[in-house]
Structure 1
Amino acid sequence: MSHGYLVIGAAGGIGSEVCRRLVAAGSRVLMCGRRAAPLEQLATQLGQPTAVVDARDWAETAAAVARAVDEFGRLDGAVNLAGSLLLKPAHLTSLEDWRETIDQNLTTAMGLVRAAAPVMRTGGGGAIVLMSSGAATVGLPNHEAIAAVKAGIEGLTRAAAATYASAGVRVNAVAPGLTQTPLTERVWSNPRGAEASLAMHPLGRLGTPGDIASAIHWLLSPEQTWITGHTLTVDGGLSRLKTAR
């Protein structure tokens, strides 16, 4: 029997790569996102079902999880790639900015854990992967809001992993460095921004969606049954190395 997965943010740069890897491995995927058009385009390519979901609304996330179970008869894994990127210093961050950053990132992550973990617990186990950021570990200027919520996601990852471990439900996170996706384009498409970002990554290049998707796919794999509560850094050395670059 093929495995069944749910991916929130499926039509994004990283999400679409995750879906491609899962389908190539013979799995079924419910591809979720806020806009129908890009989901339909991806469905044409991959032949997988889609659902328009605003993951800030926990009821919509729960409905998507229920649909995945209906579609596949099981839920082996779920990924939350919903998120946002606010680049402002604290003194210029409005309360609206702050709340929106929490909603797009931490609220969506909590909503997926809340909906998927109980289903996996009764189904004999599964894997949940959340999205953190190198900013949760490294002090980066103008990242106060996003650093705070991503650190919150890492805390959520550890706590949920502890709560559901006895049921065989694994919860992990991936923390990328700067990755070339539409969400971050305003940073890496600017020559000055790209140069500064390259200097921060000891491996000398920015990440690609494939770099991050391969890590997520690995964490979802049924072969990784002894990894939980972990945040996997996939950041070209940003958070772990200091070089003379």
Structure 2
Amino acid sequence: MSVTVGDAQNYVILGATGSVGSELSRRLVKAGHKVMLGGRDQEKLNRLSTELDSPAYKIDAAQPQTIDECLKQAEANHGSVDGVVNCIGSVLLKPAHLTSDEEWAQTLSVNLTSAFITVRSAAQVMRKNGGSVVLISSAAARAGIANHEAIAAAKAGVAGLTLSAAATYASRGIRVNAVAPGLVKSNMTRHLWESEAAEATSISMHALDRLGEPADVASLIEWLVNPENSWMTGQILGIDGGLASVIPRPRQKSG
């Protein structure tokens, strides 16, 4: 649904060039909102910026100041920031004993530290008028899944950050929520569903008998940042096909 000029919001999407981030950015622009695109891959960022006729800023999760700068630039461009979404993330599937110190540190940096910096920066640019912050947790932070120790710890940290930040900034009118997806078909997760066997195994873990699509997650985030839904904060919403909460019925073998 499109909006009138008076209803248009100013959003910042971090990780805008990823599968969920780009889908969300397209939805928001199509609805008539202004979007600042933040991403690491300059070539992809330029293409998306041209496609959506939206400003872009190169960010790097390993350089937290770039997130601060992106939000400040958005405020300078649009006069205010009404919503910030952090779609920055990575996937590491290894048992703890095979995870190196470098892999552990990088997983925390990309997934948890970037979320913290996002909250910290958003609290500054939204301090006068309030707004919405949405972070990405994971079904792996809500249910024990083998070989997810590092990413589960990072995403559980995002959930804890969401709850605490929601309490801290509620008095300023800043809402902080998170979504917790199951396995979504994206470039980042391609190795988990690209082959027929891998896809079948992954699907079998989801009660709704399919993997998620970027649009599934983007539609929920779009709902969360909408000011019409302003009485929701401190929530971690599962969008996971039942992965974290439902035990699928055993599949009947054909033949």
The interval holding the TM-score normalised by the smaller chain is over 0.9
Q: How big is the shift at 1:59?
A: 1.3
Q: Deviations over 1:31-84 (max 9, x none)?
A: 010111101111121110101111332211111111000111110000111111
Equivalent position SS for 1:204: coil
State the match for 1:118 in structure 2. Answer: 124
Residues 59-113 of structure 1: CA deviation (Å, up to 9, x unaligned): 1111111100011111000011111100100110011110000001001000110
- 1:108 alignment counterpart: 114
Question: Which residue in the other structure is 1:22 paired with?
Answer: 28
CA contact (8 A) 1:113 1:128 kept: yes
Runs of 4+ in 1 over 6 A off after TM superposition: none
Match of 2:45 among 5, 27, 39: 39
Partner of 1:7: 13
1:158 alignment partner, SS class? helix
User: Within 2, Cα distance between the matches of 1:191 and 1:138?
Assistant: 25
Query: How far does residue 118 in structure 1 lie from its aligned partner after superposition?
Result: 2.2
Q: In the aligned structure 2, how far is the partner of 1:110 from the partner of 1:70?
A: 22
Residue 146 in structure 1 maps to residue 123 in structure 2: no
Gaps of 5+ in 1: none
TM-score under structure 1 length normalisation: 0.98
2:241 alignment partner, one of 229, 232, 236: 236
What one-letter code is carried by the residue in structure 1 that aligns with 2:15?
A: G
Q: In the comparison of the two structures, how many residue pairs are matched?
A: 244
For the residue of structure 2 that corresponds to 1:183, the secondary structure is coil
2:161 matches 1:156: yes
Instruction: Report the residue type matching 2:116 in the other structure.
Output: M
Of 92, 96, 104, 1:90 maps to 96
One-letter amino acid matched to 1:69? E
Q: 2-side partners of 1:56 and 1:210: how far apart?
A: 27
Which range moved further: 190-199 or 144-153?
Answer: 190-199
Tell me, yes or no, if the aligned pair for 1:5 and 1:76 is still in contact at 8 Å: yes
Match of 2:225 among 216, 220, 231: 220
Give the percent of matched residue pairs that are identical in Structure 1 and Structure 2: 49
Contact kept, 8 Å, 1:8 with 1:32, in 2: the verdict is yes
Counterpart of 1:185 in structure 2 is: 190
RMSD in angstroms over aligned alpha carbons? 0.9
Structure 1 residue 25: Cα displacement: 1.4
Spell out, residue by residue over 1:189-214, the C-alpha distance to the aligned partner (whole angstroms, 9 max, x if none).
12222111111101110000000000
User: Which residue among 69, 74, 81 is the counterpart of 1:75?
Assistant: 81
Partner SS state of residue 188, structure 2: helix
Q: Specify every segment of 5 or more residues in structure 2 that has no aligned partner in the other structure, as ranges.
A: 1-5, 251-255
- 2:140 matched to 1:135? yes
Counterpart Cα distance in 2 of 1:10 and 1:243: 33
